[in-house]
């Protein structure tokens, strides 16, 4: 058996021989991860509830965003486990290979959703396995790159980290374009299965490079001794402060996989003569990365360095301010949507330009900086702490999305109604829910019903005032070329109408085709589960479908249409359809922080973070340490 080299060859002046295998592995692995993550939010809101034989209940945007960010936080928390195993016991190579197999099993679980059993359980199992696999290998792969270099070629380390990041974004770009299209036309099994195949390919590529790599052996007890030594604790403490700033960066950045998708859904997505799917817009980020890396590395950095010394911390500080600018533009876009406009997706592309520039300045630079500041026996552990910052940022975003969700009484009876209709496919299940007074038989009771193939309907009290309000809004829209009134106009139209408890009605414009009218309900408090309301939608007009170069590659109808027909789902779940409008009555649900207010909340937090970073950067003192 050939003995692996445990330290870099001092005679190698150029790129180490194992780098092509690491870069190829990373491109395929990132294709698999971003391909799956790109469609996750859309899958949860539009597909998951149709994966079982009996349709379930659709997930709200806030609930989906919470779960996407919880998953992302898990992916970036498990690197600590992977780093510990690699540095203390098995070494980076064995850890990467072992956890890659776990990673593949996670993709397999996602591809099998709906084949048998409860689809949600397959989803949870798949995401848990991917969290362990993807997260566990992350710090090991980053540190494994650095381990290939010694003093003779250390000057190439910065360049190879850029190549490393370039491969990540090449895989991300291709998968972000492909998997939303596969989901739209071929469904979740194929859309989640293709990334699984790429993950298997990534594992094979990495295994093929085993004899070319430098295998730095695990440090064992020395790792623990160095980690908890005064110098190790000082290093972790000093860098942990930096990582807190990076955490807030990721709290905003990773919303491109959740909130920015939902924002794109309400925009005119025609760009460069092509109509894009809402989740495909994320492909802008990796293609900009591929463009910006050489631009920053070979043009901007050298030119700026002639004027001012560009230290890593100065780059990171500039990136934090750019991220605040990206979200300020996103907040402005959302304010246009809140006003009933339908802005072109080019505005979000511009926001991606700012966000991507921020990513280069923060993510790439902080990754390299963290590696160079780590003691030799703690390289993977410091990479794990760096990735923990991503986890903390996503936990914060998930917590915000959890807090802002207004509960719905529907959730308390959903499983009971679902079980009832599953007993007989055409049965109608009905459940009466006590209202705010917690007594059945009073005027604030809610009656919920479910027919097979439909969503839960709620018969609400105080329906007459809401109907009258809907009629008034629809009349205004009819008189103004089928345009819903802006918030201030809609509020003025409804000021004379109150519910049966004397509460004034509230008007919200969700987008150019949907408005919401709500009552504070029997508890007379806004934004609680006892709020009652009606959502008024303008029916979509029949528009000429655009020709697409993919027509020859796809079925005649999207997968969702075919799946609804297969399980017997009926879209006619609105209680009323007057003219060109539909009305849907609801109780509870919604968000406490919605529309542009949500985006401005994060924008302000990011700007404050960037300001606080300035004194930290001025006071930081560190030492560059490379593997020998």
Percentage of the residues of the chain whose pLDDT score is greater than 70:
89
User: What kind and span of H or E run contains 532?
Assistant: strand 532-538
CA distance 109 to 428: 33
461 and 325 share one domain: no
Tell me the per-residue pLDDT of 356-380, one tens digit each, with 9 for 90 and over.
999 999 988 887 787 777 777 676 6
Residues in CB range of 166: below 8 A, 6 or more apart: 289, 290, 293
490 and 611 share one domain: no
- Give the pLDDT confidence score for residue 542 in this predicted structure: 60
457 and 494 share one domain: yes
Is residue 9 in a domain?
no
CB atoms within 10 A of CB 335: 16
pLDDT tops 50 at residue 1: no
User: What kind and span of H or E run contains 432?
Assistant: strand 428-433
175 and 321 share one domain: yes
pLDDT tops 80 at residue 541: no
Strand ordering across the sheet containing 428-433: 428-433, 446-451, 457-459
Tell me the per-residue pLDDT of 557-589, one tens digit each, with 9 for 90 and over.
899 999 988 888 876 555 667 778 999 898 888
pLDDT tops 70 at residue 153: no
Contact predicate 229/20, CB 8 Å: no
Give the lowest-confidence range in 62-66, 231-235, 448-452: 231-235
- Give the pLDDT confidence score for residue 150 in this predicted structure: 67
Contact predicate 515/536, CB 8 Å: yes
- Give the pLDDT confidence score for residue 195 in this predicted structure: 94
Which of 473, 477, 514 has its CA nearest to residue 491? 473
Is residue 240 in a domain?
yes
Domain count across the chain: 2
What residues make up the domain containing 227? 19-405+596-619
Strand ordering across the sheet containing 514-519: 506-511, 514-519, 532-538, 581-587
610 and 462 share one domain: no
Tell me the per-residue pLDDT of 158-174, one tens digit each, with 9 for 90 and over.
677 777 777 777 888 88
Axis-axis angle for helices 379-403, 365-373 (nearest 10):
140
Is residue 72 in a domain?
yes
Tell me the per-residue pLDDT of 423-468, one tens digit each, with 9 for 90 and over.
766 678 888 888 888 888 888 888 888 777 777 888 888 899 999 9
603 and 566 share one domain: no
241 and 328 share one domain: yes
Is residue 600 in a domain?
yes
Rg, the chain, Cα only: 27
271 and 398 share one domain: yes
Percentage of the residues of the chain whose pLDDT score is greater than 90:
47
- Give the pLDDT confidence score for residue 11 in this predicted structure: 67
- Give the pLDDT confidence score for residue 588 in this predicted structure: 85
Q: How confident is the model at residue 232 (pLDDT cuts 50, 70, 90)?
A: confident
419 and 374 share one domain: no
Tell me the per-residue pLDDT of 387-434, one tens digit each, with 9 for 90 and over.
889 999 999 999 999 999 998 887 777 777 777 777 766 678 888 888
Q: In the predicted model, what is the mean pLDDT of residues 62-79?
A: 93
282 and 358 share one domain: yes
Q: In the predicted model, what is the mean pLDDT of residues 293-313?
A: 90
Identify the sign of the CA torsion 22, 24, 27, 30: negative
Q: What is the DSSP letter of 276?
A: P
Is residue 190 in a domain?
yes
Q: In the predicted model, what is the mean pLDDT of residues 188-207?
A: 91
CATH number of the CATH domain containing 229: 1.20.1250.20
446 and 310 share one domain: no
State the greatest distance between any 2 C-alpha atoms of the chain, in Å, as a whole number: 86
Tell me the per-residue pLDDT of 252-278, one tens digit each, with 9 for 90 and over.
999 999 999 999 999 999 998 888 999
Q: In the predicted model, what is the mean pLDDT of residues 53-61?
A: 83
* Count of H-run helices and E-run strands, the chain: 21, 9
Is residue 14 in a domain?
no
Which of 518, 534, 608 has its CA nearest to residue 324? 608
Tell me the per-residue pLDDT of 461-490, one tens digit each, with 9 for 90 and over.
889 999 999 999 999 999 998 999 999 999
Q: Take residue 73 and report the two structure tokens written for it.
A: 């936080």
Q: How confident is the model at residue 352 (pLDDT cuts 50, 70, 90)?
A: very high
Is residue 526 in a domain?
yes
- 545, burial (CB in 10 Å: exposed 0-12, middle 13-18, buried 19+): exposed
Contact predicate 511/342, CB 8 Å: yes
398 and 456 share one domain: no
Is residue 32 in a domain?
yes
Average pLDDT, the chain: 86
């Amino acid at each position: 058996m050939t003995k692996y080299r445990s330290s870099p060859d001092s005679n190698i002046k150029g790129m180490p021989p194992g780098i092509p295998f690491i870069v190829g592995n990373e491109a395929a692995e990132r294709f698999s991860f971003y391909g799956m993550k790109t469609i996750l939010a859309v899958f949860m809101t539009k597909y998951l509830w149709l994966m079982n034989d009996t349709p379930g209940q659709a997930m709200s945007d806030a609930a989906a965003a919470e779960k996407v960010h919880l998953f992302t936080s898990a992916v970036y928390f498990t690197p600590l486990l992977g780093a510990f195993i690699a540095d203390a016991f098995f070494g980076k190579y064995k850890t990467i290979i072992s956890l890659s197999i776990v990673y593949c099993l996670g993709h397999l679980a996602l591809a099998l959703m709906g084949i048998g059993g409860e689809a949600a359980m397959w989803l949870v199992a798949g995401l848990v396995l991917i969290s362990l696999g993807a997260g566990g290998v992350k710090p090991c792969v980053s540190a494994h790159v650095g381990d290939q270099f010694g003093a003779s070629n250390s000057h190439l380390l910065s360049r190879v980290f850029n190549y490393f990041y370039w491969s990540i974004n090449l895989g991300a770009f291709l998968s972000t374009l492909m998997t939303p299209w596969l989901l739209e036309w071929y469904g979740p099994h194929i859309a989640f299965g293709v990334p699984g195949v790429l993950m298997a390919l990534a594992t094979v590529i990495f295994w093929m490079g085993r004899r070319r790599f430098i295998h730095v052996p695990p440090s064992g007890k020395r790792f623990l001794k160095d980690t908890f030594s005064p110098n190790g604790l000082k290093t972790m403490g000093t860098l942990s402060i930096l990582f807190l700033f990076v955490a807030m960066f990721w709290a905003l950045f990773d919303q491109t996989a959740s909130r920015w998708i939902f924002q794109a859904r309400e925009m005119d997505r025609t760009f460069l003569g092509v109509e894009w799917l809402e989740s495909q817009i994320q492909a802008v980020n990796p293609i900009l990365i591929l463009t910006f890396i050489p631009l920053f590395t070979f043009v901007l950095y050298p030119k700026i360095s002639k004027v001012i010394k560009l230290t890593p911390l100065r780059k990171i500080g500039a990136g934090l301010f750019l991220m605040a600018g990206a979200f300020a533009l996103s907040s402005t876009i959302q304010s246009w949507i809140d006003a009933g406009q339908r802005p072109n997706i080019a505005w979000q592309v511009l926001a991606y330009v700012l966000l991507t520039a921020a990513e280069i300045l923060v993510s790439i630079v902080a990754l390299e900086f963290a590696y160079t500041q780590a003691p030799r026996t703690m390289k993977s552990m410091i990479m794990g702490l760096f990735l923990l910052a991503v986890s903390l940022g996503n936990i914060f975003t998930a917590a915000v999305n959890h807090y802002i969700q207004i509960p719905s009484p529907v959730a308390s009876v959903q499983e009971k109604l679902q079980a009832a209709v599953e007993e007989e496919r055409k049965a109608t299940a009905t459940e009466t829910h006590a209202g705010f007074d917690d007594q059945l038989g009073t005027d604030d009771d809610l009656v919920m019903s479910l027919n097979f193939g439909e969503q839960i309907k709620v018969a609400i009290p105080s329906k007459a005032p809401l109907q009258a309000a809907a009629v008034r809004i629809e009349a205004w829209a009819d008189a103004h070329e089928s345009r819903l009134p802006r918030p201030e106009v809609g509020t003025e139209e409804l000021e004379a109408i109150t519910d049966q408890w004397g509460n004034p009605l509230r008007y919200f414009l969700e987008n150019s085709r949907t408005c919401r009218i709500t009552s504070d309900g029997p508890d007379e408090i806004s934004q609680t589960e006892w709020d009652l309301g009606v959502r008024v939608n303008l029916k979509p007009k029949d528009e000429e479908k655009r020709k697409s170069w993919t027509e020859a590659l796809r079925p005649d109808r999207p997968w969702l249409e075919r799946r609804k027909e297969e399980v017997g789902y009926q879209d006619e779940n609105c209680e009323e359809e007057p003219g060109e409008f539909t009305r849907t009555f609801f109780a509870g649900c919604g968000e406490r922080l919605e529309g542009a207010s949500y985006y401005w909340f994060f924008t302000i937090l990011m700007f404050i973070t960037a300001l606080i970073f300035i004194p930290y950067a001025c006071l930081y003192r560190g030492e560059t340490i490379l593997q020998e």
